Amino acid sequence: MLIKINYCIQCGNPLKEKEIEGKIRKFCSNCGYIHYINPIPIVAIVVNNNGKILIVKRGIEPEKGKWVLPGGFVDGDESPVQAAKRELKEETNLEAEDVKLITLVSTKSEMYGPILMLGYEALNVSGNPAPGDDAVEVKFKEIVDLNEIAFKSHRIILEKYFKSIR
């Protein structure tokens, strides 16, 4: 479902392809616009409550109905830290006073193309967990098998997190 760009976003002319900076890229011969396929920044948040990790059941695709870490897209007017706090609140009704970067995972999504997944640990969390936004259920669970988590990038974040606390 990756969106294909065929027309210039600046002047509406059809885009052509040619090698630019060592890669085949789409460009506009009318205004000179070059279409770069840049990764989309996304955050995922680890909340640890006495060894149990907060997970959410997705209410939307991709991976609808499966368990993941809370998270989502970084909006253009916010930092990844702000996005992590916002997404945690939107999806789980929990608030983090602060977050700490665990790791960065660069991967590709069939739906969105290249993504940069920033994994954060939520610190000083308050509130009562409740599903919101695109989450239909939230729970704290001891993660025994990382394959319980739908997204590979979330499994990598959890693996690095678990190594850091042992």
The residue range of the domain holding 110 is 40-165
Q: Whole-model pTM?
A: 0.89
- Judged by DSSP in three states, 49 sits in strand
Q: Answer yes or no: is pLDDT of 1 > 70.
A: no
Q: Do 62 and 125 share a domain, yes or no? A: yes
Q: Answer yes or no: is pLDDT of 125 > 70.
A: yes
Q: Do 115 and 72 share a domain, yes or no? A: yes
> For the chain, how long is the longest CA-to-CA vector?
60
Q: Answer yes or no: is pLDDT of 2 > 70.
A: no
How does pLDDT run across 130-146, given as a tens digit for each residue?
999 889 999 999 998 99
How does pLDDT run across 64-89, given as a tens digit for each residue?
999 999 999 999 999 999 999 999 99
Q: Do 30 and 90 share a domain, yes or no? A: no
Residues 149, 67: contact at Cβ < 8 Å? Answer: yes
Q: Do 25 and 103 share a domain, yes or no? A: no
